[in-house]
Chain A
Amino acid sequence: MADKDAAAGGHGGGGLDPLHQFQIHSILDINIGGYDVSFTNSSLWMVIAAAIGYLLIRQGAGAGALVPTRMQLIAETLYMTVANMVRDNVGDAGRKYFPFIFTLFMFLLVGNLVGMVPGSFTFTSHIAVTFALASVIFIAITVIGLVKHGLKFFTLFFPHGAPLATAPILIPIELISYLSRPVSLSVRLFANMMVGHTLLKVIASFAIMLGVVGGIAPLALLVGITALEFLVAALQAYVFTILTCIYLHDALHLH
């Protein structure tokens, strides 16, 4: 406790810790077979994000009217965005993976946007969450590629047309490059969300520390950065999904 206070004081007083928002605390303690599987605030917001995503689509697509209501228009726009993304980046073979990709996109988009609500928790700002998602995608795509192409899948690790003598160097490099995909995928999302939310908190604490008169400039900046954060939230969900599509395309078509 004393350490924490000292650390907060070191940041310039006021007891404002910009990283406090990322703390995970247990809401409901659950212990199964020695493993801590407590229901935390992170899990709570994941459930909320999934529920909002489900209700949005359910509410929107339920009516199915020819002249859409606002809700239906939102649902249809989201659906069309992902449908076009899958068609452009994976091709017709990707159609059967559309439900998964659409679910992924909705989960991340709603999760990122729900995190912008003051007092909420952004579960995508934890690498544990994003890396778990990226690992599932990575393993699934590797298995899809192996099932679809058998041993021919391993030609992915040797660039087409390179001389055979370069294989001992090229294959490990390509292998590492392939293994780095889940890392870059998860780090990109987690880093963007965490940096954004920390920045918001830091600038907000400037506004508080400088008082009513001096705090106007940081407050104005804060308004601009908040808008930028909404852009980042939507963009990062989109980027995560589009890269999943590109990796899926690689596994389905091998170059």
Chain B
Amino acid sequence: MVDDQLRDLGKRVQAVRARRATELRGSGGASRGQASGGMAIGLRIVIEMVAALAVGVGGGLFLDAEFGSSPWCLIVGFILGSGGAFANVLRTARDLDARQKREREAAIASERADGLDEG
């Protein structure tokens, strides 16, 4: 008796959840995500870039202080740090691209599934 009620409740919760998910996807869900996402993506890329450069320059300065080879390690560290910064930016961009593509494919797939259910 109680089990039946619970199962019924579970079914209803699941139905509402599915409906809510499709509604969110349909109306403004994507555009709202993009508006606040642009700033976040920009900040993420900037931090990745600065972090690699800071590690390169910091490492160079440390090695210079250690071996008294100023300024050569700093120069090499700066160049390698710039390379690392670009590597980080490229990796982040590729990661974001892949994520976006996966989300789009998932949305298309679930829409198709909805269409099959109704048809």
A177 to B59, CA, bound (A): 12
Chain B residues near A235 (CB-CB < 8 A): 40
A66 to B9, CA, bound (A): 11
B61 interface residue per 8 A CB criterion = no
Pick from A66, A174, A183: contact of B87, CB under 8 Å? A174
**A177 near B87: Cβ-Cβ < 8 Å:** yes
**A177 near B88: Cβ-Cβ < 8 Å:** yes
**A187 near B47: Cβ-Cβ < 8 Å:** yes
Q: Write the chain B residue with the least CB distance to A235.
A: B40
CB distance from B43 to the nearest CB of A (A): 8
CB distance from A131 to the nearest CB of B (A): 11
B6 interface residue per 8 A CB criterion = yes
A21 interface residue per 8 A CB criterion = no
CB distance from A187 to the nearest CB of B (A): 6
**B47 near A179: Cβ-Cβ < 8 Å:** no
- Chain B interface, >50% SS class: helix
**A66 near B6: Cβ-Cβ < 8 Å:** yes
**B54 near A180: Cβ-Cβ < 8 Å:** yes
Chain B residues near A67 (CB-CB < 8 A): 6, 9
Q: Write the chain A residue with the least CB distance to B90.
A: A177
Contacts A172-B80, A176-B59, A179-B55 given: A184-B47 contact, CB under 8 Å? yes
A230 to B8, CA, bound (A): 36
Chain A stretch 59-102: residues in CB contact (< 8 A) with chain B? 66-67
Q: Write the chain A residue with the least CB distance to B44.
A: A188
A174 to B84, CA, bound (A): 6
Number of interface residues, chain A, beta carbon within 8 A? 18
**A177 near B44: Cβ-Cβ < 8 Å:** no
Q: Write the chain A residue with the least CB distance to B9.
A: A67
A180 to B56, CA, bound (A): 9
Number of interface residues, chain B, beta carbon within 8 A? 21
Chain A residues near B54 (CB-CB < 8 A): 180, 183
Chain B residues near A180 (CB-CB < 8 A): 48, 51-52, 54-55, 84, 88
Contacts A172-B80, A176-B59 given: A187-B87 contact, CB under 8 Å? no
Chain B stretch 35-53: residues in CB contact (< 8 A) with chain A? 40, 43-44, 47-48, 50-52
**B51 near A173: Cβ-Cβ < 8 Å:** no
Chain A stretch 142-191: residues in CB contact (< 8 A) with chain B? 169, 172-174, 176-177, 179-181, 183-184, 187-188, 191
**A176 near B44: Cβ-Cβ < 8 Å:** no
Chain A stretch 204-237: residues in CB contact (< 8 A) with chain B? 235
**A177 near B91: Cβ-Cβ < 8 Å:** yes
CB distance from B9 to the nearest CB of A (A): 8
**B87 near A173: Cβ-Cβ < 8 Å:** yes
CB distance from A158 to the nearest CB of B (A): 12
Pick from A66, A174, A176: contact of B55, CB under 8 Å? A176
Chain B stretch 1-27: residues in CB contact (< 8 A) with chain A? 6, 9
Chain A residues near B55 (CB-CB < 8 A): 176, 179-180, 183
9 nearest interchain CB pairs? A176-B84, A184-B51, A173-B83, A183-B51, A180-B51, A180-B52, A177-B84, A180-B55, A177-B87
The chain A residues found within 8 Å of chain B, CB to CB, are 66-67, 169, 172-174, 176-177, 179-181, 183-184, 187-188, 191-192, 235
A-B contact pairs, 7 of them (CB 8 A): A173-B84, A176-B59, A176-B84, A177-B87, A179-B55, A180-B51, A188-B43
